[in-house]
Each structure stands twice: as C-alpha cells, then as structure tokens.
Structure 1
Amino acid sequence: MDVIEERVTGILSGQFKLKKEIITPEVTFQNLSFDSLVLIELSLVLEKEFQVVIEEGDLTDQLTVRELAELLTDKGAVA
C-alpha cells in the first residue's frame, strides 16, 4: 500500500468512521455504502487534504480505494 493509499484509508476510517479492516485497496465505494452525497463530502475532504481539484464525476461509487489513490496521484497529490 502506498503512502497516498494509506492516507485515504486513514481519512475513510477517521472522518467517515469506517473500520480499517473493511478498507482494502479493492473495495469500491458502493461496497462501503457511499451515496452521491457522501462522495461529494469525500471529494471536498480530499481536495483540502491533498491540495488537488476533483472534478464532478471523478469520484463514482464504482471507484476502488486503489483507483482513488491513483487518481489523486495523477492530479498531483503529494505523499
């Protein structure tokens, strides 16, 4: 697990009160029961944490934690 993936896991467990055991790199946000409003909240948290801009539609419920970390890296997030 890379540093950005670890930070995303920390955000999901800390701010969104998810158990770390269920946050695997392959889990989708749909599996975590994230609806569109929670995804919007997550995008705002990630923008602030990683100093990146997340466009509408970047975060979907089909995205995995690993894919989110890759998206953040592609957008210039610094570990």
Structure 2
Amino acid sequence: MSDLTYETLVALLVEKFEVLPELIRPGVTFADLEVDSLFLVELLLVVEREVQAAIPDDAINAQDTLERAVDIVREHVATAGTR
C-alpha cells in the first residue's frame, strides 16, 4: 500500500488534472481552485489507485485544504489497514 504525500497530491493535480502549479500552495482549498464535486470524485478515484485503498466519494469536500485532503486519505488508509 502506497502512502499519499502532499507532493504526490500536487503532482496528481498538475499532471492528471492540469491544475496550474502557481495556484497550488499548502493552505489552498479545493474551493480556491474552483473545482466542482465531480472533480473531487475523479480525484479520489485516482488517489484510490495511488494508495490502493477505497476512499468514500464524500471524504473530501471543497472546503478542505490540500494538506487536510492528504490527512483524510491517510486516515482512511490506516482504518482500512486495521480491518
């Protein structure tokens, strides 16, 4: 099982979702990036493949920062690993 890092999330946003790198900073929220709920679901699907664990579609919302999103994914991966 792979671990999601902030740097990995940034790389996914830039490379797979074409988010401009200059918009990305640690405290930015998904709302700041002006992404919609479909974007977040697609992002979570890509993240699931990266970490090899199921993440609920509603685990991350537009008000979450990128750093918080990484923490949320890690929490789900840790929980999945204890089942």
Q: TM-score, normalised to structure 1's length?
A: 0.85
Give the aligned CA root-mean-square deviation in angstroms: 1.5
Between structure 1 and structure 2, the one with the greater Rg is 2
Give distance in 2, aligned partners of 1:75 and 1:36.
Answer: 19
The reply to whether residue 15 of structure 1 matches residue 16 of structure 2 is yes
Question: For the Cα contact (< 8 Å) 1:28–1:65, is it kept in 2?
Answer: yes
Gaps of 5+ in 2: 79-83
Could you list the runs of 4 or more consecutive aligned residues of structure 1 that deviate by over 4 angstroms after TM superposition? none
Q: Which residue of 2 aligns with 1:32?
A: 33
Query: Number of residue pairs matched?
Result: 75
Give distance in 2, aligned partners of 1:62 and 1:22.
Answer: 16
Q: TM-score, normalised to structure 2's length?
A: 0.81
Gaps of 5+ in 1: none
Identity of aligned residues (%): 33
Question: For the Cα contact (< 8 Å) 1:29–1:62, is it kept in 2?
Answer: yes
